[in-house]
Amino acid sequence: MLEGSFKFNVLLTLPALVLTILLAVVTGALSPNFVTETNLANLATRLLPLGLVALGEAMVLFAGRIDLSVGSIFSLSTAIVALTSDTLGWYAIPVTLVIGIACGLFNAAGINLFRINPLVMGLATAAIVKGVTLLILPSPGGEVNYELYDALFGSERLLAMPLFLTIGAYAALVVIMGWTRFGRSIYAFGSDQRAAFVNGVSAWKVDLAVYGVSGFFAAAAGIAVSIKILSGDPLIGEAYTLDAVSAAILGGVALQGGRGSLIGVLLATISLVLVNNAFNLLDLDTNFQNIAKGLIFVLALVFFMRGKAGEA
């Protein structure tokens, strides 16, 4: 049964794989700059933040929840790093990660203690976090220690720290979700909460874990972007919320929970990064980027929701 489930989750990655290959082939054929070392390094750099946010969002969706606060946590993290890295240096990173985890745990507490709908709780947390961010950094600014930039983005190559961090994060969670009891518990909880409870799976533990992970990766993504732009921005993370959910759904993760593969999420994230890259390289009107990504999101929903209905 596990083998069948694994094969089914692998099949769910095919739309993202096909879209990724199609975008790469078309963009490469139309733009000679696509396969240059500079552009490939740029793709890896852009993949890092979106890949991390989408990874955390996918973990929440596996459990049948949703986290709409990731964009605000992302923005808060850029502000914290920009305001503290000069004095704290490298210690600004763990401080920011802890705050991101705390935001995620706040979501879990609201859902379990006060029985607030996960969608509503995510929106409430996003509003609170956004307000705090604007209080500490009302407009883009601050300054990030350049040593952090040199360590993370100093080597402008494809095979460099941004790509290694992305692959490492996904590899670690692929192992956890595929080969540990904890990962199976999250899938089971997302598939059928009552059955999972009867088998000893704690809703509290699952929510604390997945929302904590989501907050951690949203904060990590914000750290990466603040280091890249060497400053903070209280609103920069807003676009990442929809992109993260889009990447997860396109990658085959079910909104109802209990289904999907992180490999598919990674491929879907690459495809969204390629959409942005194609618009830039081909000098297309960037105002259509959001339209294109929105249409991809809708098509993914239609495709996978129909597949779910077919299973039933």
Q: How far apart are CA 308 and CA 297, in angstroms?
A: 16
The pLDDT of residue 5 = 59
The pLDDT of residue 9 = 65
| pTM of the predicted protein model | 0.94
Tokens 């706040």 identify what position? 106
First CA to last CA distance, the chain: 17
Q: How far apart are CA 158 and CA 42, in angstroms?
A: 8
Cβ contact 85:92 at 8 Å: yes
Residue 232, strand partner residues: 141
Tokens at 55, concatenated: 């990874």
Q: How far apart are CA 207 and CA 59, in angstroms?
A: 10
Cβ contact 308:256 at 8 Å: yes
- Rounded average pLDDT over 268-272: 96
Q: pLDDT tens for residues 175-212? A: 999 899 999 999 999 999 999 988 889 999 999 999 99
**b/e per residue, 75-108, with b = 16+ CB within 10 A?**
bbbbbbbbbbbeebeeebbeebbebbbebbbbbb
Model confidence at 146: pLDDT above 50:
yes
Strand, helix or coil at 232? strand
Single out the residue of 58, 31, 35, 80 nearest to residue 220, CA to CA. 80
The pLDDT of residue 306 = 53
Q: pLDDT tens for residues 288-306? A: 888 888 888 888 888 776 5
In CATH terms, 2-311 corresponds, of 1.10.3470, 2.60.40, 1.25.40, 3.30.70, to 1.10.3470
Mean pLDDT of the chain: 92
Residue 141, strand partner residues: 232
User: Which residues does 259 contact at the CB level (< 8 Å), separation at least 6?
Assistant: 8, 9, 12, 62, 187, 190, 191, 252, 253, 308
The residue that leads in pLDDT, 286 or 221, is: 221
Q: pLDDT tens for residues 204-234? A: 999 999 999 999 999 999 999 999 999 999 9
Q: How far apart are CA 174 and CA 183, in angstroms?
A: 9
Domain ranges of the chain: 2-311
